Structure 1
């Protein structure tokens, strides 16, 4: 029998400036490789990885301001956001459920609305690129089951006024959901009000495989309520465990183990140091682009958006820089842990050469 190996190599991160994923921490890689064949979707059979999942949920609770939380490690922010909508729809007894989200909400909410057959009401942002509270209030009614806010938007890194959104949700007896998939690992080191300790948040998304530096897939769905997890649960008659609250069945033990390993290593001091470095780099890049005459959106988290011409954008991509645009057409740079000052200096040098 001839053994064949895969000879191709994965793409490196040397010129990736647009991704919200990054190189996994070395300890995350090691842990993931040891748990490749385990399935936390059947926790009674795979007891070791089940214990690790309980640990990572508890640790994510510490990150998000409440150690006593329920939840699980999901495939990513999309699954967690869908689960938030699903829980809200099933928990509330209304005929025509609707979900209210700000304009910069992740596209996973559109998927959720389609799959779950709920009305999605999208409201505008303020000039500061955060949810317009008055517009959210006008969009809610007795059939609203969920009001969602974003803590670290994917285009500009903005944080919505979560306590005010939670008050609006409570006024119509709806759930409050916070999508902190990207920003959740840096926000503890800011002055923003965004988590369970800051507002009456029912569900929250936070992804260890983004700024947490865990291996993919390792998203996170959290709630303070056992009732919400029970709402999501279905019977699993052929498994050793009797019920399952997750959206997918079989899940990656690799993601769970990697998240535990990196949280043990980096929370909180390692993440604080990385945030300070990345924020400094984002501010440096914003100043560098502004000094060259580009219109720059002031970064509030380590994400920089700037207006550049289509010609320059395409020439940069042809040089191998992996870039993306916002919905308004700005160049969008995400200062992830692999995006070093040296890399940004090289990027700016390329801009100077191509202008």
Structure 2
């Protein structure tokens, strides 16, 4: 049986993953069969993972990138679950809760169910950022973790991370930043989100999103080793006697591809990609506004706009891969593979549908 070809990215406007950089493809293939979950056996990929963590820590302004703790996860979901697990394990209350904005990724709902912790969801303000007064009201002595989002998946918004960190630490909780998508964009903006901007404890940042690594390649970073020590379990039959990761066996492809992409693109390649993507988002937002749609002003390269269901469905029928926010708005993510030409074609199809 002939194997099908992978789907083209030409009309994919909803994904937070993108085409991997050629260097990431090549490196991923070379390390496909290696297992960073057994670092004493697969020492070459284990060294690459140390390099991946150092590069991610550099992007996230860790005070000492060469000493940062972390690992390459399967994606943002695993990193977020692990951040919750680490905070729970380090907290001394019997009934632990985690405070998350309603803009938080659905992975935190998975984490709460898996780890048997209470999830306290707090509202966002009129611009889709976490309300700090609601967080202050929600935390108590049982709060193990406060979560802030740096590049929300629906509106591309960045929470007030320094203020949330102060609230968390004053309550005796840890602070986690979910920058899974935004982490490779934010270094080229003026937002406060990183280890240098606030005393955050853990941070999610995914190379397989805007970092242009091959899937799967997420990232979990920690300010200090204690966060990962809280995750460690004994591995008696391996040469490495403990393991802090969630999945255990992992393909070295994600690790090697992440390093290759970051070494090829940091910083200038990413800066150029962010500039292009931001320009595309501004262009699309203006084009939709000119046609009478109610557009939410882009903060990062993500466009959301109120959109009639028949037009949305018609665009899907002609092959555009678009999605909706929970409130029903059209959602377009201007990833590196999304060109101005593709957006012009998208708007042209919209005009034909509206005619």
Q: Same fold (TM over 0.5)?
A: yes
Match of 2:37 among 36, 41, 50: 41
CA distance in 1, matches of 2:39, 2:254: 15
For 1:7 and 1:169, the matched residues in 2 are separated by 51
The whole-number CA distance in structure 1 between the counterparts of 2:270 and 2:245 is 28
How far has the Cα of 1:6 moved from its partner? 5.0
Matches within 5 A, 1:29-68: 29-66=25-62, 67=65, 68=67
Deviation at 1:229, TM superposition (A): 1.1
Q: Could you tell me how far 1:69 is from its partner in structure 2? A: 1.1
Q: Name the SS of the counterpart of 2:230 in structure 1.
A: helix
**Could you report, residue by residue, the CA deviation over 1:91-122 in whole angstroms, capped at 9, with x for unpaired residues?**
01101100001110000000000000000000
Which structure 1 residue ranges, 4+ long, deviate > 3 Å from structure 2?
A: none
Corresponding position of 2:312:
313
Pair 1:196-2:192 in alignment: no
How many corresponding residue pairs?
A: 351
Per the normalisation by structure 1, the TM-score is 0.98
Report the Cα distance in structure 2 between the residues aligned to 1:308 and 1:89, rounded to whole angstroms: 41
Paired residue for 1:28? 24
Gaps of 5+ in 2: none
Could you say what secondary structure the match of 1:232 adopts? coil
Mapped to 2, the partners of 1:234 and 1:225 lie a distance apart of 18
Tell me, in whole angstroms, the C-alpha distance in 2 between the residues paired with 1:191 and 1:8. Answer: 44
Equivalent-residue separation in structure 2 for 1:7 and 1:104 (angstroms): 39
SS state of the match for residue 72, structure 2?
strand
Whole-Å Cα distance in 2 between the matches of residues 141 and 46 of structure 1?
44
Per the alignment, residue 85 of structure 1 pairs with 84
Structural mapping, 1:1-355, within 5 Å: 6-66=2-62, 67=65, 68-355=67-354
Distance 1:57 1:289 in 2: 40
Whole-angstrom CA distance in 1 between matches of 2:270 and 2:167: 32
The RMSD of aligned alpha carbons is 0.7
Indicate the SS of the match to 2:113: helix
